């Protein structure tokens, strides 16, 4: 595993989850999960399919409300915030990368990445210029005028990562960020993601089943049946 800056182990948590419980019908996706995520830290959450990894990510990002337990971000409990405030956090402080990108099909790659900036009030020209820089960093600048349906899955996923990082978020939540990439492209994306996190102090939560992706993290929490089974620190 890579080593982050030493401050990641001593800084106050950016996100603190305590005793999270979440069920869907009779199935318990999370059974009392607690963890901290610190500024600049890359934390991998691993486990078999159905172990609760994606549900945990959704709870931490404020997309899903837990049935019990709490998630605190910068001292505020997410479950106490209205949906409008949670949506605002996901536009400004949080960057989310879903497993299949979820880009807006009608927009070009450039406008998909620029959209979060424009929603936050950035002028279109400046937003598109910053978006282009991020597409360059992830190796998809040549695809900037393509729409999602005209790109490969791997290209789309790199555009989604650029969109998640363009606002300079405090935390990035990435669900299988390299799932659509070949191994060489995945290495490039993870190297850029790690560099960005350590340079900017962005916290990154990775959900992955890939041991090679988890190896980029400073710390790994393995889930089994909705509960932490093991923690590995670099």
Structure confidence by residue, pLDDT tens digits, 114-144: 999 999 899 999 999 999 999 999 889 999 9
- For residue 198, give Cα distances in angstroms to 26, 53, 152, 194: 40, 23, 29, 6
Q: pLDDT tens digits, residue range 167-216? A: 999 999 999 888 877 888 888 888 888 888 888 899 999 999 889 999 99
State which of 149, 168, 187 marks the end of a domain.
168
Give this prediction's pTM. Answer: 0.88
Q: Do 197 and 159 fall into the same domain?
A: no
Q: Do 14 and 127 fall into the same domain?
A: no
- From 223, 178, 226, select the one nearest 47 (Cα to Cα): 223
Residue spans of beta strands (DSSP E) within 133-224:
171-175, 203-207, 219-224
- What is the domain extent for residue 162? 94-168
Q: Do 151 and 191 fall into the same domain?
A: no
Q: Do 106 and 158 fall into the same domain?
A: yes
Q: Do 61 and 20 fall into the same domain?
A: yes
Indicate the number of domains in the chain: 2
């Amino acid at each position: 595993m890579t080593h982050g800056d030493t401050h990641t182990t001593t800084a106050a948590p950016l996100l603190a989850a305590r005793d999270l419980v979440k069920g869907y019908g009779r199935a318990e996706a999370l059974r009392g999960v607690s963890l901290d995520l610190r500024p600049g830290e890359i934390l991998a959450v691993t486990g078999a399919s159905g172990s609760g990894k994606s549900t945990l990510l959704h709870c931490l990002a404020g997309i899903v409300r837990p049935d019990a337990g709490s998630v605190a971000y910068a001292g505020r409990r997410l479950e106490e915030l209205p949906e409008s405030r949670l949506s605002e956090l996901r536009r400004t402080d949080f960057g989310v990368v879903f497993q299949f990108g979820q880009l807006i099909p009608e927009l070009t790659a450039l406008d998909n990445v620029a959209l979060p900036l424009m929603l936050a009030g950035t002028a279109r020209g400046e937003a598109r210029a910053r978006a282009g820089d991020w597409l360059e960093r992830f190796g998809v600048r040549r695809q900037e005028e393509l729409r999602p349906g005209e790109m490969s899955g791997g290209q789309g996923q790199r555009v989604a990562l650029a969109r998640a990082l363009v606002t300079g978020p405090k935390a990035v939540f990435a669900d299988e960020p390299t799932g659509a990439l070949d191994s060489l492209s995945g290495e490039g994306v993870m190297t850029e993601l790690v560099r960005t996190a350590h340079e900017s102090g962005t916290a990154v939560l990775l959900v992955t089943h890939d041991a090679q992706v988890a190896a980029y993290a400073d710390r790994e929490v393995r889930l089994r049946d909705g509960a932490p089974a093991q923690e590995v620190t670099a």
